[in-house]
Amino acid sequence: MFVYRNKDLPKDPYYPSDLKKLGYFVTENDQIRKISDPDAPFQYRINRNERFNVKNREAMNDCIRELINTRLHDAGLEDLRLPLREKADGQIVQSRPDEAHVPIMVSGNLRKASRIIVVFGEPVQDFGVWAYRLIGGDKINKGSAVDFARAVLGADDNKTGNALVLANTGQLLWNSLYSRAVTNVTWASLPRPAANWGPPAMSWRTKIPGNNDWREHIHHVFSKVLWPCTREGTRIDIIGMSEGGLGAIEYLETNWETWRPFISGICLGDPLQSTNVDIDMSTLADPKSFTAFMSARCRGYVMSDEEVGTRHSGYRSHGCNCYSSGESCYTECILPSAWRDMLHWLDMLHEDPTYEEQIMIIGRDLDETTQKDLDKLNVASDEDEDSKTTQEGSQGDGCEDKKEDDKVVQQNTGGTTEAHAKSEISLEKITEQCEDESSEEKAI
C-alpha cells in the first residue's frame, strides 16, 4: 500500500492572529475594515480550498476575542476560572491557569452587590461574543457583550451598583497544547500535521471537570459562583439565549424551592423550553410554583421583524409571555437587538418585587389544554368583562404586508400575595380581538 508521509502532504495553512498582518484595522466607528479598502469588511472566502478560509477566519476571531476581553476588563469585569474548588480549610479557590478550566467574567462587586445579573449565552459562541456576523459587518461592541456590560455596571462616576456574571457555555473543550478552553469551531481550526488530516482527536484530556457540557456549566455557575453570593435581600436577574436559557430553566425548575427567594426575573432570547416537556403547567394555580413565576416574571423574545417589545404568540409553547426581538433571520442577533428592552423590563421587576405580568394568549394558540390550565385560575368569562380591541395583530403566516387582528386573552396574574393565598385570581381585563385569517375562528 502506498502511503504519503506528512512532509509530502500539503502544509496546513497558517495566518497570524494580528489584525495588521491580516490586512485589517479598526476604524474610528469601531468597525473592522480592510487596510487596502477602508470600505470593505472582513472577507471570509479568500481561497477555493475551504481550509484556508477556515484558518483565516479563526485568526481574525482570535484578534476579535482579544479586543473584546480587553474592553470587558476595562468595563470592570474580572476573570474567574472554573471549576471552583474548596480547599481543606474551607477556602474556595479557582483553577490554576495551567489546569483544565473554562474562563468566565464577573464584576469585582459580586460578593457585595444586592442585585446580580447573569447571562448564559449560546453554546456555539465564543465568550463575550453575541454574533460574529455583527462584529464583522457592523461594530465590535454591538456584536459583543461590551456595550451590555457597560450598561449594566455603569461607567466612571455613574456606577449602578449592579453585579454582572458572564457565563461561558461555548468554550468547554480544553486545548492542552495552548492551555486554553475553546469552542467546537476553534477545535476544528487547530493546527494539523498536514492539511489533509482531520481535527485532533478528543479524549478525557479535553474535558473540563464539572463543565463537560453547557448544562453542567450552568449548574456549576449556579451552585459554585452564585450561591455563595446569596444572602437575605439578594436578587438575581437571568438572561439566557437558546440553550443557555433552557439550561437555566431546567436547573431552576428542579431547584426552585432553594432559589425562589432570590430570583427576580428571567429574560429568554429564542426560548427553547416546552410546556409539553420542561414546564409543568398543572402547577400554574400554585403561586409558589416555578410555573406561576414564569408566567408572571419571565419573558421570551422570539424571532420577528416587528418592533422590539411587540407582543407575540408563544405562551402556549413556552409558558411565558413572548415578544418580538426585532430580529427575523438569526437567533444569535436576538440579544444584540433586544438586550436594552430586556434590561428595561428587568429594572422594572427589580424596583417592584410584587409586579406580575398578565398572561397573554394569542387566539390561534388557545387550545383545549391551555384553556384547562387557565380554568384552574378561575378566569372570568369574557362576557362578564368590557372587552376592547387594543392592538393590531402581527403579520399573518404565509402572507406578506397583511395586517391581522389577533384574539388575545390577557389574564392578570398580578396582585398582592394575599390575593394569591385565596387561590382565586381575578381577571383584570380581557382584551379580545377577532382574527381575520379564518371566518371559522371561534370566540374565546
Please indicate whether residue 366 or residue 399 has the higher confidence score (pLDDT).
366
Evaluate if residue 429 carries a pLDDT over 50.
no
Same structural domain, 346 and 411: no
- Asked if omega into 83 is within 30° of 0 (cis), the reply is yes
At 50 the pLDDT is 93
At 404 the pLDDT is 41
Domain finish residue from 336, 355, 374: 355
Phi, psi of 412 (to 5 degrees): -80, 110
E strands, 144-204, where? 163-166, 173-175, 180-182
> How crowded is residue 218: how many other Cβ atoms within 10 Å of its Cβ?
26
Domain finish residue from 308, 339, 355: 355
Same structural domain, 122 and 137: yes
Q: Pick from 243, 234, 406: which is nearest to 315 by CA?
A: 406
At 418 the pLDDT is 38
Q: What is the CATH number of the domain that holds 108?
A: 3.40.50
> How crowded is residue 201: how many other Cβ atoms within 10 Å of its Cβ?
7
Report, as an integer, the average pLDDT of 310-328. Answer: 91
> How crowded is residue 183: how many other Cβ atoms within 10 Å of its Cβ?
21
Residue 44 forms part of a structural domain: no
Coil, helix or strand for 355?
coil
Q: Pick from 425, 304, 322: which is nearest to 365 by CA?
A: 322
Residue 41 forms part of a structural domain: no
The answer for residues whose C-beta is within 8 angstroms of residue 172's C-beta and 6 or more apart is 102, 123, 181, 183, 208, 211, 212, 213, 214, 217
In this structure, are residues 104 and 165 in contact, taking their beta carbons and an 8 Å threshold?
Answer: yes
Same structural domain, 347 and 365: no
Residue 322 forms part of a structural domain: yes
Same structural domain, 140 and 186: yes
Same structural domain, 292 and 183: yes
Domain of 171 in residue numbering reads as 70-355
Confidence of residue 5 (pLDDT cuts 50, 70, 90): confident
CA distance 175 to 180: 5
Same structural domain, 309 and 179: yes
In this structure, are residues 132 and 63 in contact, taking their beta carbons and an 8 Å threshold?
Answer: no
> How many CA atoms lie less than 13 Å away from 392 in the CB half-sphere?
8
Same structural domain, 260 and 403: no
Residue 228 forms part of a structural domain: yes
CA distance 332 to 61: 16
Same structural domain, 404 and 305: no
In this structure, are residues 418 and 287 in contact, taking their beta carbons and an 8 Å threshold?
Answer: no
The CA-based dihedral angle spanning residues 199, 203, 205, 207, taken in that order and rounded to the nearest 10 degrees: 100
CA distance 311 to 324: 6
Residue 437 forms part of a structural domain: no
Please indicate whether residue 357 or residue 427 has the higher confidence score (pLDDT).
357
Please indicate whether residue 12 or residue 379 has the higher confidence score (pLDDT).
12
At 110 the pLDDT is 94
> How crowded is residue 284: how many other Cβ atoms within 10 Å of its Cβ?
22
- Long-range contacts, 155-160 (Cβ 8 Å, 24+): 155/75, 159/76
At 199 the pLDDT is 87
Looking at the structure of the chain, the number of domains it has is 2
> How crowded is residue 163: how many other Cβ atoms within 10 Å of its Cβ?
25
Residue 333 forms part of a structural domain: yes
Q: Which amino acid is at 179?
A: S
Domain finish residue from 355, 374, 400: 355
Same structural domain, 90 and 224: yes
**pLDDT tens digits, 124-165:** 999 999 999 999 989 999 999 999 999 999 987 788 989 999
At 64 the pLDDT is 97
pTM (predicted TM-score) = 0.82
Same structural domain, 387 and 286: no
Evaluate if residue 422 carries a pLDDT over 80.
no
Nearest-10 crossing angle of helices 243-254, 290-297: 140
- Beta strands 24-26 and 408-412: pairing type? unpaired
Evaluate if residue 289 carries a pLDDT over 90.
yes
Q: Pick from 116, 143, 129, 16: which is nearest to 69 by CA?
A: 129
Residue 376 forms part of a structural domain: yes
**pLDDT tens digits, 290-304:** 999 999 999 999 999
Report, as an integer, the average pLDDT of 166-186. Answer: 95
Q: Pick from 372, 347, 357: which is nearest to 300 by CA?
A: 357
Give the chain's length.
444
Same structural domain, 295 and 213: yes
Percentage of the chain with pLDDT > 70?
Answer: 81
Same structural domain, 340 and 365: no
At 373 the pLDDT is 64
Helix H or strand E segment including 20: helix 19-22
**pLDDT tens digits, 340-395:** 999 999 999 999 999 998 887 666 566 666 666 666 655 433 333 333 333 333 33
Coil, helix or strand for 50?
helix
In this structure, are residues 84 and 94 in contact, taking their beta carbons and an 8 Å threshold?
Answer: yes
Residue 28 forms part of a structural domain: no
Evaluate if residue 20 carries a pLDDT over 50.
yes
**pLDDT tens digits, 218-273:** 999 999 999 999 999 999 999 999 999 999 999 999 999 999 999 999 999 999 99
DSSP lists the bridge partners of residue 174 as 181
Rounded to the nearest integer, the mean pLDDT of the chain is 83
Percentage of the chain with pLDDT > 90?
Answer: 66
Phi, psi of 437 (to 5 degrees): -60, -40
Residue 100 CB burial class (10 angstroms; 0-12, 13-18, ≥19): buried
Confidence of residue 396 (pLDDT cuts 50, 70, 90): very low
Rg value, the chain, Cα: 25
Evaluate if residue 1 carries a pLDDT over 70.
no
